[in-house]
Chain A
Amino acid sequence: MDAPTIIAKRIAQELREGMLVNLGIGIPTLVANYVPPGIHVYFQSENGLIGTGPIPEHGMEHPMLTDAAGKPVTALPGACTFDSATSFGLIRGGHVDMTVLGGLQIDAHGHLANWVIPGKMVPGMGGAMDLATGAKHVIVAMQHTAKGKPKVLNKCTLPLTTIKPVDMVVSELAVIAFPDGRATLMETAPGVSVEQVAAATECELAIATDLHEMRL
């Protein structure tokens, strides 16, 4: 199983019946492929859609039915559309139960940096700051390291996305949560040792009392 699949499958286990969920672009989008059977969740696309469905078949695209990257999507039965003020009212107002976002860095207290690398990559924050600040439950989906360097750090060196700590980070190596504001190793990926996770992480990790292996 490759890293994005491990991450997406594990995060999908956090989905619960009836949740309103917003998935960021990249690995987070893959979570929609692993919704547990028997569970119905609503996916929001922040450009103004609840009920986002799979990518349309060739020739079935609608130019006015797109995701937050401007790419064609479908709408599932029961879908609804709305303007951007309503869309961000849903996000900022705490109506979105869960968001899954990509991450560049996370610090020991769960602070997220994911929108800019000054001087190198300045795409704009889009909806990331509102999502990370306003969604009830924030999960970060990211590879544990970038070019061999840890992304879970003592302190973020990149500008923060929000000062509200995230709830959980899922990488191809581990699940890390932040109970009492402290990075805590909750789960390890199959075949990955605690030492391997620690070696790929800059900050010190507390170990959960019920530490176990991810059940994929």
Chain B
Amino acid sequence: MKTIELAEAVAKIPDGATLMIGGFMGVGTPERLMDEIVRQGKRNLTVIANDTALPGKGIGKLVDAKLVGKTIASHIGLNPETQKQMIAGTMQVDLVPQGTLIERIRAGGCGLGGVLTPTGVGTVVEEGKQKVEVNGKTFLLESPLRADFALVHAFLADYHGNLSYALTARNFNPVIAMAADTVIVTAENVVPVGVIAPDHVITPGPLVDFLVAH
């Protein structure tokens, strides 16, 4: 784990990169990274996240600045700007059931070849997917997801990069921290080693590549 300045962290992200971004309606999203991506004007990004929050908040800032070429998300209903860009054809949106999306990310992070889920069987979600029968039940084979970068927001980060999260700001964060080539973290508080008890560490430090300095 390396401590890094905000601008330097975002400079590592090339145009066209695939980003997994933590947060649920902007709660638990690394806002400083969002602001800096907008400032540096990264283009044609692919975003994998639960949702695109609201205009002016979290991932919504990237959408407002028209930096996103493709989104893989479960819900965009509360961001009219995402819907506008989708309808205009300037942003491709793949909608994935939330439980399937998080399991595809988990599979990507855990070295699994995919997920078998009953969700979506017999609906438009099954189109183009292999169906697998196990013990008489039908499942969809959903492929794993990985990204170039995971942008994670934690509550506590210690000097070794061990992370813990607060309340409902955890959501996708610890799962995406497993599924990207490079993991960049912002934290509400950076604390000495030992402040987070070993049993309370949710994301193990060795997963974290860069901890953004305050």
Chain A residues lying within 8 Å of B75, measured Cβ to Cβ, are 123-126
Expressed in whole angstroms, the minimum distance between the Cβ of A85 and any Cβ of chain B is 5
Q: Which of B3-50 contact A (CB under 8 A)?
A: 24-28, 50
Q: Is A88 an interface residue (CB 8 A)?
A: yes
**A124 contact from B28, B77, B123, B202, Cβ within 8 A:** B77
Given contacts A65-B167, A81-B167, A124-B74, contact A88 B27 (CB under 8 A): no
Q: Establish whether residues A124 and B73, one from each chain, have CB atoms under 8 Å apart when the complex forms.
A: yes
B119 adjacent to A47 (CB under 8 Å): no
B25 touches A84 (CB 8 A): no
- Among B115-134, those with CB < 8 Å from A are 117-125
Contact of A46 among B98, B167, B175 (CB under 8 A): B98
Find the A residue at minimum CB distance from B103.
Answer: A85
Q: Is the CB of B27 within 8 A of A64?
A: yes
Using known A-B contacts A66-B25, A125-B97, determine if residue A92 contacts B119 with beta carbons closer than 8 Å: yes
| A167 lies within 8 A of chain B by Cβ | no
Annotate B51-78 by CB proximity to A: 1 below 8 A, 0 otherwise. Answer: 1011000000000000000000111111
Residue of B nearest to A65 (CB): B167
| Given A124-B75, A127-B74, A129-B120, A66 contacting B102 (CB threshold 8 A) | no
> Are B25 and A70 within 8 A (Cβ)?
yes
Docked Cα-Cα span, A63 to B98, in Å, equals 22
B77 touches A64 (CB 8 A): no
Residues of A within 8 A of B135 (CB): none
Whether B24 pairs with A84 at a CB distance below 8 angstroms is: yes
A130 touches B175 (CB 8 A): no
Are A125 and B95 also in contact (CB < 8 A) when A75-B167, A85-B106 are? yes
Q: List 12 A-B contacts (CB under 8 A).
A: A45-B168, A47-B171, A81-B165, A88-B102, A92-B99, A122-B76, A124-B73, A125-B97, A125-B98, A127-B74, A129-B97, A130-B119
> Apart from A65-B168, A81-B165, A125-B75, what are 11 other A-B pairs with CB-CB below 8 Å?
A48-B24, A64-B169, A66-B25, A75-B167, A83-B171, A85-B175, A122-B95, A126-B51, A130-B98, A134-B119, A162-B122
- Contacts from A to B (Cβ < 8 Å): 45-49, 62-66, 68-70, 75, 81-85, 88, 91-92, 121-130, 133-134, 159-163
